Amino acid sequence: MAGAAAAGGGWSSRTAFILAAVGAAVGLGNIWRFPTLAGENGGGAFVLVYIGFVVLLGAPLVLSEILLGRAGGEDAIGSVRNVARASGRSERWRGLGALQITSGFLILSFYCVVAGWVVNYILASGEDWFGALFAGDPFAMAFDGETQEQITGRMGALFGDPIRMIALHSAFMAITIWIVASGVTDGIEKAATWLMPAFFVLLVMVTIYGAFTGDFGRALSFMFTPDFSKLSPGVLNEALGQALFSLSLAAGGLLTYGAYVSKEVNLAPTAAMIAAADTAVAILAGLMIFPIVFAVGLDPAAGPALIFQTLPVAFSSMPAGALVGFVFFVLIFFAALTSSISLLEGPTAWVIDAFGLKRPSAAILVGLTAWLIGVACALGYSVWSDVRLLGFWDIFANTDILDTIDGFTGKIMLPLAALLVAVFVGWRADRQLVERETGLSGGAFVLWRFLVAWLCPIAVSVVLLFGLFPNLLG
């Protein structure tokens, strides 16, 4: 086995692996997508279904993917092939790895565009806060003297300026490429060990700020009082797609990171920790954002504009809003970066293993190709706003380029790959090999295997079916 690890080192400790994996998991999915979806789908009911999916499907699948990676010891495609071979199964199972790598590549392409929006807001709120600081008022409210229209108008201005959007997206992609090119130990691990702790500190600080200055009680009841009339097959599909996306499942990230884990690490508790940390951050992000939104009487169901328009408006009438707004966007940036790294690492490891390229060349090649698709996504907000990639398909008839790629990967490719992982690990891979890798025994193994082999395939198939055919129930 050549192994991608050989081309970039492996994790230097269990802690390093956990930080990198939590870094992959915690990202725009937690701070942008989760609160947006919870806000749009009525809060409590969505949160409850989401947690159910994470516990019953997500966490068992996290363990499945990490163990496949470690047992296979290569990139996502090579690892699945190796495990299939060792289990006496068809090597065509490597298609599962190929599907995952393709998804990761596509997600990377639009992920960096959205991360570019975050950079835009770091610049805007940074300029705002430093201006206040030099004027002798470090605790000013955000965007003092601007009207609500002027503040929300920043997003429209960015969307109407493709050059600016592409410049910011390029900058973010360049940083991502640079870290991945530096290697697993010297790039990915180092970035995670600096950025993740900084992220957690900032997250807790802004949450405490929101709890004191915002409407924490209302946020709590919004997030934890389920209204079951809000549940529909569409909401279930959203929640499952979100759970897979947020845990970095089914798109090559964890499979690839798993290959860099040493044999001594006990995988089951590690997987549980990763899933728990990711979910805790999503909930904390809700508890950070909604008190601030409610404090100034804004709408939690604002959709994707929630953090880019609603929050800046809220910061404009809150104490020290300029500073907190700036910190808020910096913390999202840290989270997004440790995730985009994992998205780039999956296809990069494959290019290294399959074509023998050097790590820096592979990272640049993959990154530039994804960047090009990102350019199309960015143009989809202005000159190409009429383009409908899958316009013939009713569920994508009205979505722009970015939303189409996001929707197609999240609603279809990720569930499909998750289904295949569950079937492969639950039924096809050698039982002894699997049991040994999990480190589980007795009842714990039986329970885990039941969730992977039975519950995951059934639940994911049902949800996938409703995602593809939303009119199935009439």
Q: Applying CB under 6 A, which residues contact ligand TRP?
A: 24-25, 27-30, 104, 107, 245-246, 248, 251, 253, 339, 342-343
Cβ-contact 350, 101 below 8 angstroms: yes
Closer CB to ligand TRP, residue 62 or residue 311? 62
Task: Calculate the CA dihedral of residues 311, 313, 314, 318 and round it to 10 degrees.
Answer: 130
Q: Which residues contact 210 (CB under 8 A, 6 or more apart)?
A: 216, 219, 287, 288, 289, 291, 292, 295
Closer CB to ligand TRP, residue 8 or residue 29? 29
Residue 162 beta carbon to ligand TRP: minimum distance, rounded to whole angstroms: 24
Residue 368 beta carbon to ligand TRP: minimum distance, rounded to whole angstroms: 19
| CA-to-CA separations, 45 to 225, 342, 349, in angstroms, rounded | 7, 30, 39
Closer CB to ligand TRP, residue 282 or residue 322? 282
Cβ-contact 162, 383 below 8 angstroms: yes
Closer CB to ligand TRP, residue 343 or residue 402? 343
Residue 29 beta carbon to ligand TRP: minimum distance, rounded to whole angstroms: 2
Q: What angle do CA 445, 450, 453 make, to 5 degrees?
A: 115
Alpha-carbon gap, residue 351 to 74, rounded angstroms: 11
Q: Which residues contact 388 (CB under 8 A, 6 or more apart)?
A: 396, 397, 398, 399, 400, 404
Closer CB to ligand TRP, residue 294 or residue 329? 329
Pick from 108, 113, 107, 112: nearest CA to 158: 113
Residue 57 beta carbon to ligand TRP: minimum distance, rounded to whole angstroms: 15
Alpha-carbon gap, residue 327 to 1, rounded angstroms: 45
Residue 276 beta carbon to ligand TRP: minimum distance, rounded to whole angstroms: 15
Alpha-carbon gap, residue 104 to 248, rounded angstroms: 9
User: Quick one: tokens of 21?
Assistant: 């994996």
Residue 109 beta carbon to ligand TRP: minimum distance, rounded to whole angstroms: 12
Residue 107 beta carbon to ligand TRP: minimum distance, rounded to whole angstroms: 5
Closer CB to ligand TRP, residue 27 or residue 367? 27
Residue 209 beta carbon to ligand TRP: minimum distance, rounded to whole angstroms: 23
Residue 28 beta carbon to ligand TRP: minimum distance, rounded to whole angstroms: 4
Residue type, 429: A
Residue 277 beta carbon to ligand TRP: minimum distance, rounded to whole angstroms: 12
Residue 129 beta carbon to ligand TRP: minimum distance, rounded to whole angstroms: 25
| Residue of minimal Cβ distance to ligand TRP | 29
| CA-to-CA separations, 222 to 205, 237, 318, 429, in angstroms, rounded | 21, 21, 21, 43
Alpha-carbon gap, residue 280 to 326, rounded angstroms: 23
Closer CB to ligand TRP, residue 141 or residue 289? 289
User: Quick one: tokens of 275?
Assistant: 């899933």
Alpha-carbon gap, residue 305 to 443, rounded angstroms: 46
Cβ-contact 191, 341 below 8 angstroms: yes
Residue 252 beta carbon to ligand TRP: minimum distance, rounded to whole angstroms: 7
DSSP H stretches of helix in 30-161: 34-40, 44-53, 59-72, 76-86, 94-134, 148-159
Q: How would you class 159 by CB atoms within 10 Å of its CB: exposed for 0-12, middle for 13-18, buried for 19 or more?
A: middle
